[in-house]
Amino acid sequence: MSQKVPKDLFVRTPLIESLELRPYCPNKVYLKLENSQPSTSYKMRGVSRLCQQGALEGRDEIISSSGGNAGLATACSARMLGLKCRVFLP
């Protein structure tokens, strides 16, 4: 791979207090908004690291076997890295 591999493909997502749950819980409840990730899922964090490792090893294609969030995260990560991607659906 000729281009530099970025450090992180995922983003720092906000952590907000849930005002809706406040009346029902003695403690504050916080929500981590992982839907703000490029793939709209927390799976982006782990999957992007695997894709980055593949890019650093010189791979030019990423293959995933998922029909859900992991497949979306793989496709999103591969696109950001300029790699080909195949996602096999069950």
Query: Of all residues in the chain, what percent are helix, strand and coil, respectively (each to 5)?
Result: 35, 15, 50
**C-alpha neighbours within 13 Å on the C-beta side of residue 15:** 4
Q: Establish if 9 belongs to a structural domain.
A: no
Tally of domains in the chain: 1
Q: What is the CATH number of the domain that holds 80?
A: 3.40.50.1100
Burial status of residue 28 (CB atoms within 10 A of its CB: 0-12, 13-18, 19 or more): exposed
pTM above 0.95, yes or no: no
Place of tokens 């591969």: 78
- Quote the domain boundaries for residue 43: 15-88
Q: Establish if 7 belongs to a structural domain.
A: no
Q: Is residue 56 pLDDT above 90, yes or no? A: yes
Q: What is the pLDDT of residues 7-49, one digit of tens each?
A: 789 999 999 999 999 999 999 999 999 999 999 999 999 999 9
pLDDT of residue 13: 92
Q: Establish if 34 belongs to a structural domain.
A: yes
Structure tokens at 58: 């010189």
Distance CA 58, CA 85 (A): 14
